[in-house]
Structures are given as C-alpha cells and as structure tokens.
Chain A
Amino acid sequence: DAGVIQSPRHEVTEMGQEVTLRCKPISGHDYLFWYRQTMMRGLELLIYFNNNVPIDDSGMPEDRFSAKMPNASFSTLKIQPSEPRDSAVYFCASRRAGDTYEQYFGPGTRLTVT
C-alpha cells in the first residue's frame, strides 16, 4: 500500500504569492494532520481533520493559512499571501481510527519564500 503522498516536494515562491500544498492520505485512514517543522520552533501541529471535517485548527498561525479536505483522499494547505517567515517543511500525516494512535507521515514539502 502506498504511504502518504505529498506534492510538491519542493516549492520556491516570492513573497506575496499564493502557495498550495497537497496531501493524499493512506487509503482507509480517518484522520489527517498538517504539521510545520522549523529549526526554531520544531514540529508544530497546524490542523487536523476527522472524516474530512476540520476538528482543531488552533495551530494555524494566522488567517493567511487555510486548509481543506474535500474528500477522504485529498487535502490542501494554502498560504495566501506567503511571507518569508512561512519558509519551513510542511508534513502531512494520517492514521486510522482505532489504531494505537501512531501516525504515518508523508515525505514533506520544503517551502522557501523569498
């Protein structure tokens, strides 16, 4: 079975541009998580979904960030407008309800905003 798929793997954009990150969770998984990783702040949970419904978005840094999950096999994280301080690696993870809570991570998207 394929793991969590993220695209693009690398994104370089200019300040002010819109950025969309994509994630395909493992088939059959009920939960989807978006994380951000930086040297300064480590690994931060941004938002998570259960059965395509956003449950907790308290980690989303500000209104410039938004996330959607239109169906069980696809989610997006959008930043509009992007700023240099958004440069980070963004991870998507998924897990199945009833599992012993371990999450399966994608390879990440490295975002650089210049």
Chain B
Amino acid sequence: GDSVTQMEGPVTLSEEAFLTINCTYTATGYPSLFWYVQYPGEGLQLLLKATKADDKGSNKGFEATYRKETTSFHLEKGSVQVSDSAVYFCALSEIKGAQKLVFGQGTRLTINP
C-alpha cells in the first residue's frame, strides 16, 4: 500500500540555520502531497501542499517541491526561527477510495536561540 517515510528526528538547529526535512513516498499513481505542522498542545495544521509533479508548495517561508522522479517532497526553509519549533508531518492522499491521508511518522524540530 501507499506509504510515507520521513527523516528521523529529533532535529535541533540554531536560529537562522537552513532547514531540510526529507520525505519520500511510495504510491500508485500521482497522489497529492502535504506537509502538516503540529505545535505543542495543538492539532495538525496544513502547512503547504502540491497536487502534481513539479508543483512547489510554499507558506511561511517553507517550501517543498513535488519530485516525481525521486518520489520525494522535501521540506526546506532558508532561515528558521524559534517559533518554528514543532513536529512536522509529511503526508500523501490516496488516489482511490476516499483519498485518505497517509502520514509519515513525524519529525520533531527544535530551534535554539
């Protein structure tokens, strides 16, 4: 079945560092891809999405590009802030049925001042 594999955490960076969180997927066809963010004590929030190959999703300085050739959707940010500390989930939508979301295991990011 469809699956998502994320870079294992936790990841700790200093403020203003460059961030990459790797995400690769296995799916039949061409699913939509998502990054969700979960701040402490809160539910998951959609951060960005891409619905077809070569699309770039972006929001709040974060970017991810849908790479069909490498089945990847890596999350990047050029200069992280302390407020970016959270857990990040990569997800894909199944092509068939109810298009359920399949989530990766999550990557905990901590940014130190």
**Is B83 an interface position by the 8 A CB rule?**
no
Q: Which residue of A lies closest to B51 (CB)?
A: A100
- A103-B45 Cα distance, complex, nearest whole Å: 9
Contacts A42-B106, A100-B51 given; does A105 touch B98 at CB 8 Å: no
CB pair A50 B98 closer than 8 Å: yes
Contacts A50-B98, A105-B44 given; does A100 touch B103 at CB 8 Å: no
CB pair B98 A55 closer than 8 Å: yes
> Closest approach, in angstroms, between the C-beta of B43 and any C-beta of chain A?
4
Contacts A42-B106, A100-B49 given; does A105 touch B101 at CB 8 Å: no
**Is A12 an interface position by the 8 A CB rule?**
no
Number of interface residues of B (CB under 8 A): 20
Q: Which residue of B lies closest to A3 (CB)?
A: B43
- A12-B89 Cα distance, complex, nearest whole Å: 28
> Closest approach, in angstroms, between the C-beta of B75 and any C-beta of chain A?
16
- A101-B32 Cα distance, complex, nearest whole Å: 8
**Is B20 an interface position by the 8 A CB rule?**
no
Contacting A101 at CB < 8 Å: which of B43, B44, B101, B106? B101
Q: Could you say which residues of chain B place their CB within 8 Å of the CB of A43?
A: 44, 89, 103, 106
The 10 closest A-B pairs by CB, nearest first: A101-B93, A105-B43, A105-B44, A101-B99, A107-B43, A42-B105, A43-B103, A102-B46, A108-B43, A100-B51
